[in-house]
A and B are shown apart, each in its own frame.
Chain A
């Protein structure tokens, strides 16, 4: 693997200046030759670095930690990209996730201890379970249950999972102003497999100052929930579960990228996607609550079998001297009546030698609740449930993210190469909105604990 030429640095004097000038000339030439800003031409962002056909490698290690003993995740990720001599581009990505910790099961706290079965469990009894195996023999296993103390948020303490995802995308210039792209993604977890394919076309106008793009995506997911897929809205204590389930989705996206002026680039994307199939979270349940606040039972959640989402996304990039800025906004609405607004801003501040930067960022997010979201089910109401979920991710809440990133370019005078090291720390806080007060004994309990998380990302690219 050949490394790219060294860029700017604090050392190097006139030679470094010459290299800087050459590098800027190459970058500007690349922009002239077709490195327009269209999203469909993702790999062109690296084209200035790989103009001579070298591989670019971008790697990161992310550590994610939620408060209150919830999920911890570690995620190594690496991206390879290359621009070939004929203008074709390739970008590949490999991600591995390892998650563990406690995850809310959807039930409410109670003033009484509550006992739940792990996903693989088949009984709420503490006694060993005897069952018939697929070969017809009887087997006995110890009970897989967990008990939640009074007042505590019910969480499955034994959650763990691993995910491996691989994706690849190719870009193909069809003419001086027309580019095609296509790619695919495969993601594997022990209870979930996802395969998707995408294709797109982008056309430049007005001396490559305007790019219109259109992309389509098709995804197929296979769910193999641990212990089986519960029958939606069935009684939790009956363990009515079936085999694997599927869902599939189709999406399309129109994009407009526009160079506004020498320092400002803007992009607007209109997206539409529709998913159909088993859209429930197989591990989420709801509490059935009596007027006195007591828990009389639980049901598995039941979500509609289709979901259509529409979104508008607007991103702006601007730069002045040693500062650059990325401001994005998104509005999304879906057929579950979830409306959300997102705004994110990051500002990068370079040092005079342009080999170090600091980048604070902030993100604000707000969503309304899905129309079938309910924190609990009233025991005195109808037992017929059309759709219901107590998954807090479908409730109304707002969230803030505050973060800071530091990056440093490292030059190696021995082999005339450069690389970049970065570290980012983000703090995420989610606060529930429009909270219903629980009846009776639930009034003194924290039914909506929210979420706090820290993300640390260490990156290295060369």
Chain B
């Protein structure tokens, strides 16, 4: 039991440390506000094509065992 608790704590500490490192890394990335010209382009938006995504999600949801990732994996369709 102790081993399990220790393993659990070590795993949590590693996750917290990884998260802290990730956030610290994020702080050194990015751009200044006046450097967002390319990021402001329509084709750089993560949801630039909501209809294409919706149509694709519906097609793949009805033909494959996986769905979601970009958004929720819910059904909303009786096809699978």
Give the complex CA separation of A275 and B43 in angstroms: 34
Return the chain B residue nearest A193 by Cβ: B78
Q: Could you mark each residue 324-339 of chain A with 1 if its beta carbon is under 8 Å from any beta carbon of chain B, else 0?
A: 1000101010101010
The reply to whether A455 and B47 contact each other, CB–CB distance below 8 Å, is no
Q: Which of A123-131, A262-270, A375-383, A440-448 contacts B (4 or more CB under 8 A)?
A: A262-270
Chain A nearest CB, measured from B63 CB (Å):
6
Is A54 part of the binding interface, using a Cβ–Cβ cutoff of 8 Å? no
Q: Could you mark each residue 304-318 of chain A with 1 if its beta carbon is under 8 Å from any beta carbon of chain B, else 0?
A: 000001011101010
Given A93-B54, A194-B75, A263-B38, decide whether A271 and B69 contact each other with a Cβ distance below 8 A.
yes
Q: Could you mark each residue 7-48 of chain B with 1 if its beta carbon is under 8 Å from any beta carbon of chain A, else 0?
A: 000000000000000110011011111111111111111111
Residue numbers in A under 8 Å from B63 (CB-CB):
393, 399, 428, 430, 451, 453
The reply to whether A207 and B66 contact each other, CB–CB distance below 8 Å, is no
The reply to whether A273 and B72 contact each other, CB–CB distance below 8 Å, is yes
Q: Which bucket holds chain A's interface residue count?
A: 35 or more
Return the chain B residue nearest A397 by Cβ: B64
Return the chain A residue nearest B41 by Cβ: A319
Q: Which bucket holds chain B's interface residue count?
A: 35 or more
The reply to whether B70 and A265 contact each other, CB–CB distance below 8 Å, is no
**Which residue of A187, A340, A459 is within 8 Å of B76 (Cβ)?**
A187
Give the total number of A-B pairs whose CB atoms are below 8 A apart: 224
Return the chain B residue nearest A392 by Cβ: B63
Best-surrounded residue of B27, B38, B48, B73 (most CB of chain A within 10 A): B73
Give the complex CA separation of A196 and B46 in angstroms: 23
The reply to whether A393 and B80 contact each other, CB–CB distance below 8 Å, is yes
Instruction: Tell me if B's interface is mostly helix, strand, loop or mixed.
Output: loop
Best-surrounded residue of A24, A28, A58, A312 (most CB of chain B within 10 A): A28
The reply to whether A261 and B51 contact each other, CB–CB distance below 8 Å, is no
Residue numbers in B under 8 Å from A338 (CB-CB):
65-66
The reply to whether B30 and A42 contact each other, CB–CB distance below 8 Å, is no
The reply to whether B41 and A332 contact each other, CB–CB distance below 8 Å, is no
Residue numbers in B under 8 Å from A319 (CB-CB):
38, 41, 43-44
Chain A nearest CB, measured from B50 CB (Å):
5
Residue numbers in A under 8 Å from B78 (CB-CB):
161, 163, 189, 191-192, 194, 221, 223
Return the chain B residue nearest A249 by Cβ: B74
The reply to whether A31 and B40 contact each other, CB–CB distance below 8 Å, is yes
**Which residue of B35, B54, B72, B76 is within 8 Å of A251 (Cβ)?**
B72
Residue numbers in A under 8 Å from B54 (CB-CB):
77, 79, 93, 95
Given A39-B47, A332-B69, A428-B59, decide whether A206 and B30 contact each other with a Cβ distance below 8 A.
yes
Give the complex CA separation of A217 and B65 in angstroms: 20
Residue numbers in B under 8 Å from A324 (CB-CB):
41, 43-44
Is A358 part of the binding interface, using a Cβ–Cβ cutoff of 8 Å? no
The reply to whether B51 and A58 contact each other, CB–CB distance below 8 Å, is yes
Chain A nearest CB, measured from B61 CB (Å):
10
Is A209 part of the binding interface, using a Cβ–Cβ cutoff of 8 Å? yes
A-B contact pairs, 25 of them (CB 8 A): A35-B40, A37-B39, A45-B48, A48-B42, A77-B54, A77-B55, A161-B78, A165-B77, A196-B72, A206-B30, A217-B74, A251-B68, A251-B72, A253-B72, A259-B30, A262-B36, A262-B39, A265-B44, A269-B70, A315-B70, A319-B38, A324-B44, A330-B69, A365-B64, A459-B52
- Which A residues fall within an 8 A CB radius of B? 24, 27-28, 30-32, 35, 37, 39, 42, 44-45, 48-49, 58-60, 62, 64, 75, 77, 79, 91, 93, 95, 97, 161, 163, 165, 185, 187, 189, 191-192, 194, 196, 198, 205-210, 215, 217, 219, 221, 223, 249, 251, 253, 256-263, 265, 267, 269, 271, 273, 275, 281, 309, 311-313, 315, 317, 319, 324, 328, 330, 332, 334, 336, 338, 340, 342, 348, 365, 367, 370, 393-394, 399, 424, 428, 430, 451, 453, 455, 457, 459
Name 20 extra pairs, CB < 8 A, besides A32-B33, A262-B38, A428-B59.
Answer: A24-B40, A39-B47, A45-B45, A60-B51, A75-B55, A75-B58, A192-B77, A206-B26, A210-B23, A217-B72, A223-B78, A249-B75, A251-B72, A259-B29, A259-B30, A309-B68, A328-B69, A330-B66, A342-B66, A367-B66
- Which B residues fall within an 8 A CB radius of A? 22-23, 26-27, 29-48, 50-52, 54-55, 58-60, 63-66, 68-78, 80
